[in-house]
Chains A and B, each alone.
Chain A
Amino acid sequence: MAIDKTTVAAIARLARIDVPEADRARLAGELSHILTWVEQLAEVDTEGVPPMTSVVEVALPMRDDVVSDGGYPDKVLANAPARDDGFFVVPKVVE
């Protein structure tokens, strides 16, 4: 599958990674190359084959409803690039 610069820009936007205009053509080429290679899977007849839902064949473990965590805001904020008065700080979001 050949993908073009516009598609690269769209995926980059989805993934929140700035890809400057100058890089888009190269990236489009690289991604197209990889996508074309993985497309060989289409050769395989997978009619009726269920997708693998879990690698391990066990039941989803469940926990008891007790408060066993949290209560350490300093740890949670310790690595924050910007914090204020117990909050994380980010550039203003306009709703």
Chain B
Amino acid sequence: MSEKLMVEGRTGPWEVIIGLEVHAQVISEAKLFSGASTAFGAAPNSQVSLVDAAMPGMLPVINRRCVEQAVRTGLALGAEINLMSVFDRKNYFYPDLPAGYQISQFSRPIVGAGTIHLDLPDGATRAVGVTRLHLEQDAGKSIHDRDPSATLVDLNRSGIALMEIVSEPDLRSAEEAGAYMRKLRSILRYIGTCDGNMAEGSMRCDANVSVRRPGESLGTRTETKNLNSVRFLMRAIDYEVQRQIAVLEDGGRIVQETRLFDSARGETRPMRSKEEAHDYRYFPDPDLLPLRLDADWVAAIEATLPELPDAKKARFMADYDLSAYDAGVLVAERANADYFEAVAKGRDAKLAANWVISELFGLLNKAGKSVLDTPVSAAALGGLVDLIGDGTISGRIAKDVFAEMFESGKDAATIIAEKGLEQVSDAGAIEKIADQIIAANPGQVAQYEKNPKVIGWFVGQIMKATRGQANPGVVNQVLLKKLGG
């Protein structure tokens, strides 16, 4: 493996082995096994059915859409869809688990092995394995900090469908782990099966980390939970890697344990004995039957998949001649890619890409907006690009026009007309101004004869005189002619 991924310890290089377990909340109206709502932010216990509360005699009935969403996700990961899968009970006691068991899938998950392609900084990609994806119930929320002597329990989240997506231990660095999460999140948002909002908890990540000297067998791994941003994931991994290396180089052993990430300190620490080694006593849930999917039904879902990020990126690079980097930035969010294509259609794609990435995204980020609520529509931006293309305005002026479009919502033509910003391309007019400046500045002319770069001063003067609206190409031509170059 690549040596540049090794981490240098005190006694030599170490290889880092990372596997990620992601819990992604499924986009659906109702819960996995109950008809209660999944909407975020409701009053406590107001989105809880008798089934969610595990009242005596309550029984689960599965939500077809949640199954569909899991299949859709599996297909988007290029994974095996298991036409027969089984729901198992995972038995343990915790206040936010009202039945004392979670309905999950253990030995026969709905989705098998798949792949995620990492986009690496140098434009390369690397394929990483996904081991499996299964459906399971989310737990409720335990609130520990409202009352000093009690824990409060809200079951609204209890029973919402989760997809647990497990990667192979193929990741070799925090950066790769970050790239995995970003790509996975992008795919899930593309296909509409999860909104990927880590801050709100609709996508959660646990990191399994171990280290080993090159050539040796796998080291003991720890599991770090509670990672609700990609930044925290990467920092936690870095910390954990350093910690493990230090322990091992000092002759110690790694304890297989669950740890939490303390984002304030940037450290991981062991979870205070939540459980001894769990014995979940998995067995098939006798209130349910095996889930058998029809191959035609799966094929119909596959037919509804949109063009996915990797394919779209490849197409953008091929059809629009974009760099891997630019294409990658544009396809990360489907809405952005669609916006770009609307601007690029029938226009200079590279120019369009530049405007979208450098100008539009910049202003959107500052304003806390996205292409979904952009004040400048793709059509409007396209209009601006057209006006640059046909020489009506220069690129420099266009930036000012764009800022005004963003602010006011007016289109480019209106703003240019109102402010009289048309580019001056008339050679005669520019020659007149050039003559005036040359005549008034013999000293600069002399400087120019010694140093051709001084032409820039003349350009600047003409721009000042024309309020920046002179066509730079024409200005250069005229000056070279007049100054002799």
The answer to whether B289 has its CB under 8 Å from any CB of chain A is yes
A62 to B70, CA, bound (A): 14
Residues of B within 8 A of A93 (CB): 94-95, 142, 144, 151
The answer to whether B423 has its CB under 8 Å from any CB of chain A is no
Interface size in chain B (residues, C-beta < 8 A): 53
The answer to whether A44 has its CB under 8 Å from any CB of chain B is no
Closest to A65 in B: B65
A38 to B150, CA, bound (A): 43
Q: Is the CB of B288 within 8 A of A76?
A: no
Q: Is the CB of B288 within 8 A of A70?
A: no
Q: Is the CB of B36 within 8 A of A69?
A: yes
A94 to B150, CA, bound (A): 10
Q: A56-B289, A70-B46 are in contact. Are A61 and B93 (CB under 8 A)?
A: no
The answer to whether B284 has its CB under 8 Å from any CB of chain A is yes
Measured CB to CB, the closest approach of chain B to A68, in angstroms, equals 4
Q: Is the CB of B292 within 8 A of A59?
A: yes
Measured CB to CB, the closest approach of chain A to B372, in angstroms, equals 24
Query: Which residue of B46, B47, B51, B289 contacts A59 across the interface (Cβ within 8 Å)?
Result: B289
Query: Which residue of A53, A56, A86 contacts B45 across the interface (Cβ within 8 Å)?
Result: A86
Residues of A within 8 A of B290 (CB): 53-54, 60
Q: Which of B67, B93, B142 has the most CB of A within 10 A?
A: B142
Per-residue contact bits, chain B 266-289, to A (CB 8 Å; 1 contact, 0 not): 000001101000010100100011
Within 8 A of B (CB), among A22-71: 53-54, 56, 58-71
Q: Is the CB of A65 within 8 A of B30?
A: yes
The answer to whether A77 has its CB under 8 Å from any CB of chain B is yes
Closest to A77 in B: B45
Measured CB to CB, the closest approach of chain B to A86, in angstroms, equals 4
Query: Which residue of A63, A75, A88 contacts B61 across the interface (Cβ within 8 Å)?
Result: A63
Q: Is the CB of B272 within 8 A of A95?
A: yes
A75 to B45, CA, bound (A): 10
Q: A61-B61, A62-B63 are in contact. Are A88 and B93 (CB under 8 A)?
A: no
Q: Is the CB of B151 within 8 A of A92?
A: yes
Interface size in chain A (residues, C-beta < 8 A): 36
Q: Is the CB of B284 within 8 A of A53?
A: yes
Query: Which residue of A14, A54, A67, A76 contacts B30 across the interface (Cβ within 8 Å)?
Result: A67
Residues of B within 8 A of A88 (CB): 45, 95, 152-155
A84 to B149, CA, bound (A): 13
Q: Is the CB of B43 within 8 A of A53?
A: no
Query: Which residue of B36, B66, B152 contacts A67 across the interface (Cβ within 8 Å)?
Result: B36
The answer to whether A91 has its CB under 8 Å from any CB of chain B is yes
Q: Is the CB of A63 within 8 A of B64?
A: yes
Residues of A within 8 A of B93 (CB): 16
Closest to B27 in A: A65
Q: Is the CB of A63 within 8 A of B62?
A: yes
Q: Is the CB of A95 within 8 A of B274?
A: yes
A92 to B154, CA, bound (A): 14
Query: Which residue of B50, B52, B63, B279 contacts A65 across the interface (Cβ within 8 Å)?
Result: B63
Measured CB to CB, the closest approach of chain A to B419, in angstroms, equals 52
The answer to whether B34 has its CB under 8 Å from any CB of chain A is yes
Measured CB to CB, the closest approach of chain B to A26, in angstroms, equals 24
A73 to B272, CA, bound (A): 32
- Contact sample, A vs B, 16 pairs, CB 8 Å cutoff: A14-B279, A53-B284, A54-B289, A60-B62, A60-B290, A62-B67, A65-B30, A66-B35, A70-B52, A71-B36, A84-B147, A85-B44, A88-B152, A91-B151, A92-B147, A95-B272
Closest 7 CB pairs of A and B: A70-B36, A69-B35, A65-B65, A68-B35, A69-B49, A87-B152, A62-B64
**Which chain B residues have a beta carbon within 8 Å of chain A's beta carbons?**
28-30, 34-37, 43-53, 61-67, 86, 93-95, 142-144, 147-155, 260, 271-272, 274, 279, 281, 284, 288-292
- A-B contacts besides A14-B281, A85-B152, A94-B272, 19 pairs, CB < 8 Å: A14-B279, A53-B289, A59-B292, A60-B291, A61-B61, A63-B35, A63-B63, A64-B64, A65-B28, A66-B30, A67-B36, A69-B36, A70-B48, A87-B44, A87-B154, A89-B152, A91-B149, A92-B151, A93-B94
**Which chain A residues have a beta carbon within 8 Å of chain B's beta carbons?**
14, 16, 53-54, 56, 58-71, 73, 75-77, 82, 84-95
